[in-house]
Amino acid sequence: MSDSAFHYVDGVLHAEGVSAASLAEQFGTPLYVYSRDALTQAYRAYADACAGRNATVHVAVKANSNLAVLNVFARMGAGFDIVSSGELARVIAAGGRAENAVFSGVGKSAAEMREGLEAGVKCFNVESIPELHALNEVAKSLGKKAPVSLRVNPDVDAKTHPYISTGLKSNKFGVAFSDARATYAQAQAMDHLDVVGIDCHIGSQITEISPYLDALDKLLELVKQIEADGMSIRHIDVGGGLGITYDDETPPAIGDFVTTLLDHIEERGHGAREVYFEPGRSLVGNAGVLLTRVEYLKPGEEKNFAIVDAAMNDLARPAMYEAYHRIVPVVKRDAAAQIYDVVGPVCESGDWLGRDRELALVPGDLLAICSAGAYGFVMSSNYNTRPRAAEIMVDGERARLVREREDVKQLFAGESILPD
């Protein structure tokens, strides 16, 4: 949670200049609330560090694909990193440009490749030899040359959760480092591919710079070998993955992170190449909270439970990764606190949002689940036939509904029963 965007005024949590309690009253709960100022400040930290350098920022759409969120970045001139044709459509609908979009993803279909080529995306990050062949054939059918960058797996340990580590040789992502030079040669030989860059993404929620530098060193040595083979590498895509503070993590400041990587590349003689950054979590994670209301307090023999109206279908990260999110009261109570597990109403023992939290509560109280702007709504589902939450963007003293709450009828509107 961004302390500048989300803060207490007279004991009441505010999102910028708006009371979170008033948002819950007006729009209901569960409710995702985003701060435009927090989004803006995070993006500017990247953009300012790139200013005057041969570097560009491509927002990772998968972290938060709400149109209003993407539009905030598009207005500031951001590029985008997409992993599906659906995300490409969102970027365009939000005011972004396809020619500033990098198309990543390990399993692009021929139809997605066609849509990307027809829209004119900036580059395809290709992850396997079969994908190279497929993209070459699609480009041939359209009479085009597809700009490509190979995602190389450097076998570097990002020291993060195994589910979000992507740069080890045991992961499904990228071309094996030992095979990369030969794979580039194959790509160069295909008539409808234009080899333009090299890509690397080693994981997510990384809180140290050293794994990036280790991966870069391997990547830059590979670039020398590839160019010795007669190819020209015009850009280096360093991916995203910079972590945020959920609890007590101390990731580097965005500006320091960007400057360190750019300096490292320049010091090794590669400063003429454009560098792509693909941040996601570090842009949106602490720009959002999830508001939820306490339905029941349930004492137990071993645990006390605060049962709230948000659930694992609204925020999957705790159940999926055992991820920690701070949980704070919307209105502070001057009362004795107890230790609670904060859980939802979904019929799974894994439906928990926080364990062993010290809170002073009565039924009806509002809670804010912090750092929920990244991989929150985008990973939500309709499990238990639960409508997904509404989303709000706060801009100063104004709050705008940027996604309506679903209703139950919408959830089965496309279904049908068998005829008699």
Q: Which CATH superfamily is domain 6-35+285-411 in?
A: Lyase, Ornithine Decarboxylase; Chain A, domain 1 (2.40.37.10)
pLDDT-based confidence at residue 171 (cuts at 50, 70, 90):
low
Q: What pLDDT is attached to residue 213?
A: 93
Q: Which CATH superfamily is domain 105-277 in?
A: Alanine racemase (3.20.20.10)
For the chain, what percentages of helix, strand and coil (3-state, to nearest 5) are there? Answer: 35, 25, 40
- Residue-wise pLDDT for 217-275, tens only, equals 999 999 999 999 999 999 999 999 999 999 999 999 999 999 999 999 999 988 889 99
Domain boundaries, the chain: 6-35+285-411, 105-277
Mean pLDDT of 287-310: 96
Mean pLDDT of 154-174: 57
On the question of pLDDT at 173 being above 90, the answer is no
Question: Catalytic pick from 123, 200, 347, 370?
Answer: 347
On the question of pLDDT at 165 being above 80, the answer is no
Task: State percent of the chain over pLDDT 70.
Answer: 96
Q: What pLDDT is attached to residue 300?
A: 84
Q: What pLDDT is attached to residue 168?
A: 46
d(CA 402, CA 63): 17
Mean pLDDT of 366-371: 98
pLDDT-based confidence at residue 1 (cuts at 50, 70, 90):
confident
> Residue 123: CB partners within 8 Å, gap ≥ 6?
102, 103, 147, 148, 149, 196, 197, 235, 237
CB 83 within 8 A of CB 57: no
Token pair for 405: 């709450």
- Residue-wise pLDDT for 174-203, tens only, equals 899 899 999 999 999 999 999 999 999 888
Q: What pLDDT is attached to residue 166?
A: 45
Q: What pLDDT is attached to residue 137?
A: 98
Instruction: Of 76-80, 177-181, 389-393, 403-407, give the lowest mean pLDDT range.
Output: 177-181
pLDDT-based confidence at residue 159 (cuts at 50, 70, 90):
low
Q: What pLDDT is attached to residue 161?
A: 43
Q: What pLDDT is attached to residue 158?
A: 56
On the question of pLDDT at 390 being above 50, the answer is yes
The closest of 82, 76, 93, 8 to 36, measured between CA atoms, is: 76
> Does residue 347 carry a catalytic annotation?
yes
Q: What pLDDT is attached to residue 324?
A: 97
Polymer length of the chain: 420
Strands (E), 136-287: 146-153, 175-176, 193-199, 235-237, 274-277
Comparing 161 with 264, the larger pLDDT belongs to 264
- Residue-wise pLDDT for 2-25, tens only, equals 778 999 999 999 999 999 999 999
On the question of pLDDT at 164 being above 80, the answer is no
Q: Is 419 exposed, middle or buried (0-12, 13-18, 19+ CB in 10 A)?
A: exposed
CB 105 within 8 A of CB 84: yes
Q: What pLDDT is attached to residue 163?
A: 43
User: The whole model's pTM is what?
Assistant: 0.94
Mean pLDDT of 346-371: 97
Q: What is the mean pLDDT of the chain?
A: 94
User: Taking every pair of C-alpha atoms in the chain, what is the biggest distance, in angstroms?
Assistant: 74
